[in-house]
């Protein structure tokens, strides 16, 4: 098989080992829209030693905030984050699914009080990591459809 080469970036973030098919959702999470001013590379369906196939997203001149990392962990729990500074990997870590998810996802239950105009952040407890299952702290409803409900 021909080796896949990824061009190094000078500064920014490489999100590697994204679950295959999730790259576009990751772009949405990190807020990549039509008006980007730095280079963003998206690699989809890349051969992976760990999981057969994976996606990769590289964002130049940008580091992610904790809420973005939590969201990525929810849709792709094995993703690794490489923070690149001056062509070197300054930090590398696997995203971690937090125990409590606050404010980053809406409750999939349309009858939940958090879907009304109340001044409250949504809150979920992670009941299971494989597959990711969240329980709404308010209405107690279990949620497994994560990507569709991320804010």
Q: What is the binding site for other proteins (CB under 8 A)?
A: 107, 109, 111-114, 116-120, 136-142
H-helix or E-strand spanning residue 59: strand 52-60
Which CB sits closer to other proteins, 51 or 125? 125
Sign of CA dihedral 104, 108, 109, 115: positive
- Nearest approach in angstroms of CB 125 to other proteins is 12
Rounded Cα distance, 83 and 61, in Å: 10
Which CB sits closer to other proteins, 27 or 143? 143
Which CB sits closer to other proteins, 22 or 136? 136
Which CB sits closer to other proteins, 5 or 99? 99
- Nearest approach in angstroms of CB 118 to other proteins is 5
- Nearest approach in angstroms of CB 144 to other proteins is 11
- Nearest approach in angstroms of CB 53 to other proteins is 31
Token digits of residue 128: 């299971």
Which CB sits closer to other proteins, 11 or 114? 114
Is the backbone peptide bond immediately before 122 cis, with ω within 30 degrees of 0?
A: no
- Nearest approach in angstroms of CB 128 to other proteins is 12
DSSP letter string over 5-50? -----SSEEEEEEEETT-HHHHHHHTT--TT--S-EEEEEEEEETT
Token digits of residue 150: 């991320």
């Amino acid at each position: 098989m021909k080796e896949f080469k990824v061009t190094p970036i000078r500064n920014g973030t490489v999100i590697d080992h994204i679950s295959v098919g999730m790259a576009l959702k990751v772009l949405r999470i990190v807020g990549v829209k039509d008006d980007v001013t730095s280079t963003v590379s998206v690699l989809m369906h890349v051969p992976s030693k760990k999981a057969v196939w994976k996606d990769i997203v590289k964002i130049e001149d940008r580091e992610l905030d904790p809420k973005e990392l939590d969201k990525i962990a929810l849709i792709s729990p094995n993703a690794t984050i490489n923070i690149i500074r001056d062509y070197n990997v300054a930090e590398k870590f696997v995203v971690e699914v937090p125990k409590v998810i606050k404010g980053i996802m809406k409750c999939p239950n349309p009858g939940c009080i958090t879907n009304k105009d109340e001044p409250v952040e949504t809150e979920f407890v992670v009941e299971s990591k494989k597959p990711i299952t969240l329980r709404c702290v308010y209405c107690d409803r279990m949620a497994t459809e994560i990507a569709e409900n991320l804010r």
